Structure 1
């Protein structure tokens, strides 16, 4: 008999990272940035099932109110609510913010939702650098989304590597089977990773190479690409190499580079799938797009987006996502309220 395949979930997930340079959203339209205008890379040009937005340098000037979302989250909610998205979760650490929105129909298939944070900058005291994350059981699989802001400036490569390892070591969750970031079946990591170009090319030379669209040559100098190859950091993750211009550093209000800094691909999105963790179940995350949004000129960074097809399929077996959740997260970990993860003691 031929093998039969059944699909437990086939989702389109849209990821966005943007260093907003302490600016508020004010009257900024998010339609183009969120691809709500019919331009998505999702199959059949449909809207994404899930949005995950990571931001850095969100303004912390206002008095922090634990009962009210950041203005950026409210702005995103306003843009997405008319398309029947609901906020699943948000987490903020000083200027680092991650938030997730999903179409209403997916909410019953989201469980064990948890967040965590790791402070790195200034010895971890202030939290101006570090990471926030959201993890959940998504149609029975363990998924985690990490947003980080690593140490800045060309000379701080060692600190960026240390930041990464600190985040990986310190992020912990209480859900059975998934205590750490890389225990998850799906890992998505986005943010202002602040990696620069190695070597001595001047800002002007880099800009000239960018104008000639010599991205492949410049990416041979990209610190993140080099680190992943040597295994020093981010080597467990994959990245589709950018085919867009470096996203930092621009003069605010336009598309001209500010050559006080050497242009670099600071803003990145990476992922990892443990494809064959379970018998007869196949997990995949095909990347459908990787773009910068050049029409957004609010800050000295450009927003970067990526679209993924998140698939869970079975061979010769028929599972519900509830049954898959039992297999992956263990019996007894289902939460009655998907928005309140019951914490188990973590040993």
Structure 2
């Protein structure tokens, strides 16, 4: 006999897969990352996130630092990549506009199903000419569903609520993507909007606001929160949802303390927010879903019922993390369960390393196109160490078209020079990067690259590992 509710649970499992999304927004006030960011990441939770999205505002962008960040990873990106890589998370995409930074990380297993990645930005500071305010966004196809993430830093000060709304509408109108059915942010099936939105608590006096916070009576302040007030009259805002503000206002704190502003005595406010907008299935055509990766591969070989997509979202956590004191803002975390029916279940290519690999001999790899995809002469295959931190964190790469050595109807062999293979060896994977889709569309199983004879003879390989080679 089945237990009550078991039948419903089994039916739900058959209807779609659940993915955990972990979003963080934080105005870091030009500070570098703290030594320990583990509290932000919830890595020790029983089921780790499938996707991390980080939106930062006021990342330090002084002239010398900004120039170095163009060449090297900025401190925040480097910190997160270093922390998440050992847990098998890869930085898939990022975009920076002056102090605004948006980062998207995924578990390695999802990488071949995150396609058609595009990123853009819009300036709104100083009449649209300065990037201290505005929005940066990343859009992509996740298992065939179109998602967009928008990180904003809007105008400050109590009296600019209307200006903030104008800026938001301007950003959503101006950002254009190369996708016929989802050219703008609001064309996407699911949009996350977050950042330092700068909405304040108006009318209530300082004493009342601080008393409510001290007594944890946050609900008494909601009716005068500018964003909540605007939602009552702005149709666009009514399409967005937000969890209840059951955490204390995240702005403005004295640095290195948990005390609200003691100098200028500015009123605390929930300036840092995470909202979302999900277009109901009835309003989203099948054609929109097919736009995900600008190829006919989205639905090739898929049964007709798979095209009728399921996409549901629920919020599991909405809170701030009070332990961080490097900024006058506290970070805000939103954790979501995304339920969807996969419209893509097979990578576009299957990759494997042929024969034994070492720096002593030229190597050969084989890839098998599993579905049609928009290949080009700019496609490449990268050799990565297991535990790589980003799509471009490869040891070396080979151009697919330039280095083809054999082609048949099912398999294509590509050459890689021994001079490019690491002499010390190690556990590696291969990844096929499709330039048109701006993503990795296939990853091999891990395989052993043996240390070269020269490396062993010269003692470059630890003695305990030599027997393995």
With the shorter chain as reference, the TM-score category is 0.7 to 0.9
CA 1:146–1:338 in structure 2 vs 1: closer, same or farther (change >3 Å)? Answer: farther
Equivalent of 1:238, from 238, 241, 263?
A: 241
Residues 129-160 of structure 1 show CA distances to partners (whole Å, capped at 9, x for unaligned) of: 00001110001000001000000011111211
Question: Is the 1:8–1:320 contact (alpha carbons within 8 Å) kept by the matching residues of 2?
Answer: no
Provide the C-alpha distance between the structure 1 equivalents of 2:42 and 2:241, rounded to a whole number of angstroms. Answer: 24
Question: Is the 2:57–2:195 contact (alpha carbons within 8 Å) kept by the matching residues of 1?
Answer: yes
1:297 matched to 2:301: no
Indicate the residue corresponding to 2:255 in structure 1: 252
Indicate the residue corresponding to 1:33 in structure 2: 40
Note the residue ranges of structure 1 that are not aligned, 5 or more in a row.
Answer: 324-330
Equivalent of 2:268, from 238, 258, 263?
A: 263
Residues 287-321 of structure 1 show CA distances to partners (whole Å, capped at 9, x for unaligned) of: 1100100011110000000011111138xxxx544
Question: Is the 1:132–1:146 contact (alpha carbons within 8 Å) kept by the matching residues of 2?
Answer: yes
Equivalent of 1:286, from 290, 299, 314?
A: 314
CA 1:332–1:222 in structure 2 vs 1: closer, same or farther (change >3 Å)? Answer: farther
Question: Is the 2:153–2:198 contact (alpha carbons within 8 Å) kept by the matching residues of 1?
Answer: yes
Indicate the residue corresponding to 1:223 in structure 2: 226
Indicate the residue corresponding to 1:59 in structure 2: 60
1:99 matched to 2:100: no
Question: Is the 1:195–1:265 contact (alpha carbons within 8 Å) kept by the matching residues of 2?
Answer: yes
The two structures have a TM-score, normalised by structure 2, of: 0.65
Provide the C-alpha distance between the structure 2 equivalents of 1:197 and 1:322, rounded to a whole number of angstroms. Answer: 49
Indicate the residue corresponding to 1:14 in structure 2: 22
Indicate the residue corresponding to 2:195 in structure 1: 191
Q: Tell me the matched-pair count.
A: 323
Provide the C-alpha distance between the structure 2 equivalents of 1:110 and 1:202, rounded to a whole number of angstroms. Answer: 48
Deviation (angstroms), 1:333:
7.2
Provide the C-alpha distance between the structure 1 equivalents of 2:239 and 2:23, rounded to a whole number of angstroms. Answer: 19
Deviation (angstroms), 1:162:
1.3
Indicate the residue corresponding to 2:125 in structure 1: 121
Residues 164-212 of structure 1 show CA distances to partners (whole Å, capped at 9, x for unaligned) of: 111111111102321111111111111000000121x222321111111
Question: Is the 2:255–2:328 contact (alpha carbons within 8 Å) kept by the matching residues of 1?
Answer: yes
Question: Is the 1:16–1:306 contact (alpha carbons within 8 Å) kept by the matching residues of 2?
Answer: yes
Question: Is the 2:252–2:329 contact (alpha carbons within 8 Å) kept by the matching residues of 1?
Answer: yes
Which structure has the larger Rg over C-alpha atoms?
A: 2
1:23 matched to 2:31: yes
1:299-338 correspondence runs (5 A): 299-313=327-341, 320-321=344-345
RMSD: 2.4
The two structures have a TM-score, normalised by structure 1, of: 0.87
Deviation (angstroms), 1:28:
2.2
Question: Is the 1:108–1:338 contact (alpha carbons within 8 Å) kept by the matching residues of 2?
Answer: no
Provide the C-alpha distance between the structure 1 equivalents of 2:155 and 2:236, rounded to a whole number of angstroms. Answer: 14
Indicate the residue corresponding to 1:47 in structure 2: 48
Secondary structure in structure 1 of the residue aligned to 2:221: helix
Provide the C-alpha distance between the structure 2 equivalents of 1:249 and 1:16, rounded to a whole number of angstroms. Answer: 18
1:168-207 correspondence runs (5 A): 168-199=172-203, 201-207=204-210
Indicate the residue corresponding to 2:289 in structure 1: none
Provide the C-alpha distance between the structure 2 equivalents of 1:219 and 1:108, rounded to a whole number of angstroms. Answer: 42
Indicate the residue corresponding to 1:163 in structure 2: 167
Deviates more, 1:231-240 or 1:73-82: 231-240
Provide the C-alpha distance between the structure 1 equivalents of 2:267 and 2:372, rounded to a whole number of angstroms. Answer: 52
CA 1:341–1:132 in structure 2 vs 1: closer, same or farther (change >3 Å)? Answer: farther
Deviation (angstroms), 1:107:
0.2
Indicate the residue corresponding to 2:134 in structure 1: 130
Question: Is the 1:10–1:310 contact (alpha carbons within 8 Å) kept by the matching residues of 2?
Answer: yes
Question: Is the 1:17–1:54 contact (alpha carbons within 8 Å) kept by the matching residues of 2?
Answer: yes
Provide the C-alpha distance between the structure 2 equivalents of 1:22 and 1:170, rounded to a whole number of angstroms. Answer: 27
Note the residue ranges of structure 2 that are not aligned, 5 or more in a row.
Answer: 1-7, 287-306, 348-370, 380-431, 439-469
